[in-house]
């Protein structure tokens, strides 16, 4: 996915480099090194580079290693002592003229280096998820799929609804799904989804599936996203991109939602599924629009979320932070999982600035990390404020 490597200059001494490396490796178990040249660092397959500059004199080493790997996104992590942070900035000056985007981070005095390292790792994961991803679209080819690959590279394979339905028919009901929900016909959908290996993410055109086959995939997506998959409903690759970012930044695939209404101090969102690991409690209900089995009415588990929405050209991402007022199934005129929230901005700005209806909610205030991810992926960030 991404590679993390540490560099040092022999001018500053082997002992200092070793101590710094051991400290950094406590925060990043995957960290390779320490290396005193790019030639000494391994050539590995990576979608992004997280480079730790242990000392000064390492900016060119980072740049050389990025060229060696062929990556287009680099996150650097430095320290204030021995010109370490200065080198993390120098790497930017060497690389950005060549079209490689660099986001420098550093652990300032008084900061928790563990927290800064965790931010660096999450940014690297999110960027890697959206660099040449392999995606499966269940339904049919769309212009959105073409725009997705044009922006992020990778591939979007297509599996027709009838082909998927045949796979569902031939799949035995998944035992874990049955023990969770007890709905055999959806347990077969879940088993079919999980059998489609080799993809970073999937999206299913669920409304045509519901209308043709009479059952919703909502519960299958709820469990699949809780078990490590990243699966979007409505065949929405814009939302899937937001889910990739959420997965990288938080470990959760995120909650796709519709905007129901928004005003100054209040906003309301709803959808008929949510990842079970993002729910405090839940119950089954008929799917909202169709009345078919089943939608999920969930109460969300966190108190603060960041929501993102990507534009149709995949050139823009809007984001805002919300505090939860209440969640669950609150009204009978919206999709089953519902959130009433207080935006930490003028909520009316959502309808002025949102590039799309679907917003992906991820736990916590993730705006600092989103600024980095948007920059590294070449997305214009529009903050609701």
Q: Provide the pLDDT for residue 291.
A: 87
What's the pLDDT at 17?
A: 87
pLDDT, tens digit, for every residue of 82-103? 899 999 999 999 999 999 999 9
CA distances from 73 to 47, 127, 382 (A): 8, 8, 21
b/e burial code for range 36-49 (CB count within 10 A of at least 16 → b): bebeebeeeebbbb
Give the pLDDT of residue 71. Answer: 98
Average pLDDT over residues 348-367: 98
Residues with Cβ within 8 Å of residue 142, at least 6 apart in sequence: 235, 237
Tokens of 248: 């990288």
- For residue 81, is pLDDT > 90? no
Task: Kindly state the helix (H) or strand (E) to which residue 78 belongs, with its residue range.
Answer: strand 73-78
Separation in Å, CA 38 to CA 20, 44, 120, 276: 18, 12, 21, 44
Mean pLDDT of 146-164: 98
CA distance linking residue 160 with residue 11, whole number of Å:
60
Write the pLDDT tens digit of every residue in 94-128.
999 999 999 999 999 989 999 999 999 999 999 99
pLDDT, position 158: 98
The domain at 134-383 falls in which architecture?
Alpha-Beta Barrel (3.20)
Average pLDDT over residues 211-238: 97
Q: And the tokens for 316?
A: 């823009």
**Where does the pLDDT of residue 228 fall: very low under 50, low under 70, confident under 90, or very high at 90 and above?**
very high
Beta strands in 173-238 (DSSP E): 201-204, 231-232
Percent with pLDDT over 90 in the chain: 95
- pLDDT, tens digit, 9 for 90 and up, residues 263-322: 999 999 999 999 999 999 999 999 998 988 999 999 999 999 999 999 999 999 999 999
Report the pLDDT averaged over residues 328-352: 97
Sorting pLDDT into bands at 50, 70 and 90, what band is 157? Answer: very high
Q: Average the pLDDT over 210-219 and give the result.
A: 95
Q: How confident is the model at residue 14 (pLDDT cuts 50, 70, 90)?
A: confident
Task: Say what the pLDDT of residue 362 is.
Answer: 98
Quickly state the pLDDT bin for 179 (edges 50, 70, 90): very high
SS3 (DSSP) at 303: coil
In the chain, domain spans: 3-129, 134-383
Residue 69 reports pLDDT greater than 90 = yes
Question: What is the architecture, at CATH level 2, of domain 3-129?
Answer: 3-Layer(aba) Sandwich (3.40)
How far, in Å, CA of 8 to CA of 40, rounded? Answer: 12
Checking DSSP bridges between strand 380-383 and strand 316-328, what pairing results, if any? parallel
Residue 130 has pLDDT above 90, yes or no: yes
Specify the DSSP class assigned to residue 82: G
Terminal-to-terminal C-alpha distance of the chain? 33
Closest to 270 measured CA to CA, from 337, 220, 332, 221? 337
- Asked if the model's pLDDT at residue 13 lies above 90, the reply is no
pLDDT at 187 over 90: yes
């Amino acid at each position: 996915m991404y590679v993390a490597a540490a560099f040092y200059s022999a001018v500053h001494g082997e002992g200092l480099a070793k101590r710094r490396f051991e400290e950094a490796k406590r925060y990043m178990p995957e960290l390779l090194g320490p290396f005193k040249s790019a030639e000494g660092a391994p050539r590995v397959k990576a979608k992004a580079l997280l480079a730790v500059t242990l000392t000064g004199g390492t900016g060119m080493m980072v740049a050389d290693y990025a060229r060696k790997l062929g990556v287009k996104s680099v996150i650097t992590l430095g320290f204030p002592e021995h010109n370490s942070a200065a080198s993390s900035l120098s790497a930017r000056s060497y690389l950005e003229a060549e079209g490689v985007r660099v986001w420098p981070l550093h652990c300032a005095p008084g900061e928790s280096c563990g927290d800064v390292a965790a931010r660096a790792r999450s940014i690297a994961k999110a960027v890697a998820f959206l660099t040449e991803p392999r995606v499966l679209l269940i339904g049919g080819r769309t212009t959105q799929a073409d725009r997705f690959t044009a922006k992020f590279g990778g591939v979007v394979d297509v599996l027709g609804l009838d082909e998927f339905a045949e796979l569902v028919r031939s799949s035995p009901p998944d035992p874990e799904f049955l023990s969770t929900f007890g709905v055999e016909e959806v347990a077969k959908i879940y088993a079919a989804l999980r059998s489609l290996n080799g993809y970073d993410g999937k999206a299913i055109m669920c409304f045509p599936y519901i209308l043709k086959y009479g059952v919703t995939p909502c519960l299958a997506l709820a469990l699949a996203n809780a078990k490590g998959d990243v699966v979007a409903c409505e065949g929405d690759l814009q939302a899937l991109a937001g889910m990739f970012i959420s997965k990288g930044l938080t470990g959760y695939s995120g909650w796709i939602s519709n905007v129901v209404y928004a005003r100054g101090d209040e906003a309301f969102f709803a959808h008929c599924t949510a990842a079970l690991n993002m729910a405090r409690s839940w119950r089954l209900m008929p799917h909202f629009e169709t009345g078919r089995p089943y939608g999920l009415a969930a109460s969300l588990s966190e108190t603060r979320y960041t929501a993102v929405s990507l534009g149709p050209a995949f050139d823009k991402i809007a984001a805002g932070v919300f505090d939860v007022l209440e969640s669950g199934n609150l009204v009978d005129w919206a999709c089953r999982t519902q959130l009433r929230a207080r935006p930490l901005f003028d909520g009316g700005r959502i309808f002025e600035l949102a590039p799309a209806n679907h917003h992906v909610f991820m736990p916590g205030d993730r705006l600092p990390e989103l600024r980095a991810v948007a920059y590294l992926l070449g997305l214009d960030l529009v903050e609701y404020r």
